[in-house]
Amino acid sequence: MRQNLHTHSTYCDGKNEPREMIENAIEKRFDILGFSGHGYVPFDTASMSIENTSEYIKEIRRLKEEFREQITIYLGIEEDMENRIMTKEPFDFVIGSCHFLTKDGQVLPIDYSRGVFEYMLDSMFSNDYLSLAETYYRKIMRMADWQEVDIIGHLDLITKFNEDESFIRFDDPAYVRHACDAVDAFAGKKILEVNTGAIARQYRRTPYPAINLLRYMHEKGVSICLNSDCHNAEYLDCGFRDALEMIRACGYRSMMKLTTEGFIETDIDEFE
Ligand SMILES: [Zn+2]
Ligand SMILES: [Zn+2]
């Protein structure tokens, strides 16, 4: 069984139209493909406009019908914390993500580029990475009680440019404590995703979250799903094989599958 619930298209900042994503998914033998366009955020040009969002909804619904014999399509959205949608309707599922940090009226994106990240770290946090991490994890954990959110997107996004550990060591105890506080907040409430998106875009060789966090998530009984955060049809299953190995190595024996009845826990051996 192959599933990806984190897919972008030309309706936001993806490279391919939804139809091309679906055709590629069928070619790659996917059973389930969930679209998750970036929910509207007024200052984010990568997000869908309000008008585009209604077009997106219509288009995905149309394609869901058209391809129903070949693949199961779900209509989702990647909601950003800066513009909460509040209600799940009309979506089949909602990914909740934190892409921005704010301070004293200034808003900066976490994942735009290393340069912007360094500027944010300096201008908002006086180059104190731990202070940035604490702010980020305290912010993201608020979504534990947002009822419309099913999946928390890329939990440790603030490590996007940290593959070389030049900002923080992944096992720095103070850093890990902040991240684990967020995991504790989500345990039993939300699904966390293993997200291979930064691999396709060559920022990372490993998925979010870092392996020590994934191990901790398993200890805490946190449910997961595997997503590629795909912005380009070629990379729909990018890093899936290695990620599955990592998930198993952390002790996981099941992942969440989306059905018309909602999410169900499914044996890991069913996934590829
Ligand atoms: Zn995202
Ligand atoms: Zn995304």
- 86 Cα: distance to centroid of ligand 2 (angstroms): 19
Q: What is the pTM of this model?
A: 0.97
**Which residues form the domain of 238?**
3-270
Between the alpha carbon of residue 197 and those of residues 15, 44, 172, the distances in Å are 14, 19, 24
- 11 Cα: distance to centroid of ligand 2 (angstroms): 12
- 264 Cα: distance to centroid of ligand 1 (angstroms): 23
- 99 Cα: distance to centroid of ligand 2 (angstroms): 10
Helix axes 173-186, 129-140, angle to 10 degrees: 0
Overall size of the chain counted in residues: 272
- 207 Cα: distance to centroid of ligand 1 (angstroms): 13
- 158 Cα: distance to centroid of ligand 2 (angstroms): 14
- 153 Cα: distance to centroid of ligand 2 (angstroms): 7
- 134 Cα: distance to centroid of ligand 2 (angstroms): 22
Between the alpha carbon of residue 178 and those of residues 121, 130, 135, 238, the distances in Å are 17, 8, 9, 29
For residue 172, the domain's CATH number is 3.20.20.140
CA angle, residues 247, 252, 257, in degrees to nearest 5: 90
Give the total number of structural domains in the chain: 1
271: tokens are 């996934």
Q: Say if residues 256 and 264 touch (Cβ distance below 8 Å).
A: yes
Ligand closest in space to the Cα of 229? 2
Alpha-carbon distance 234 to 200, whole Å?
9
- 244 Cα: distance to centroid of ligand 1 (angstroms): 20
Give the containing element (helix H, strand E) for 265: strand 262-267
The pLDDT of residue 272: 86
Per-residue pLDDT of the chain (272 residues; tens, 9 = 90+): 999 999 999 999 999 999 999 999 999 999 999 999 999 999 999 999 999 999 999 999 999 999 999 999 999 999 999 999 999 999 999 999 999 999 988 999 999 999 999 999 999 999 999 999 999 999 999 999 999 999 999 999 999 999 999 999 999 999 999 999 999 999 999 999 999 999 988 899 999 999 999 999 999 999 999 999 999 999 999 999 999 999 999 999 999 999 999 999 999 999 98
3-state SS of the chain: helix, strand, coil percent to 5?
Answer: 40, 20, 40
Ligand closest in space to the Cα of 12? 2
Ligand closest in space to the Cα of 154? 1
Alpha-carbon distance 258 to 160, whole Å?
27
Ligand closest in space to the Cα of 197? 2
- 74 Cα: distance to centroid of ligand 1 (angstroms): 18
- 160 Cα: distance to centroid of ligand 2 (angstroms): 13
Helix axes 173-186, 211-219, angle to 10 degrees: 40
Alpha-carbon distance 57 to 122, whole Å?
39
Dihedral sign of CA atoms 89, 94, 97, 100 in order? negative
Q: Which residue has the tokens 């069984």?
A: 1
Alpha-carbon distance 256 to 250, whole Å?
16
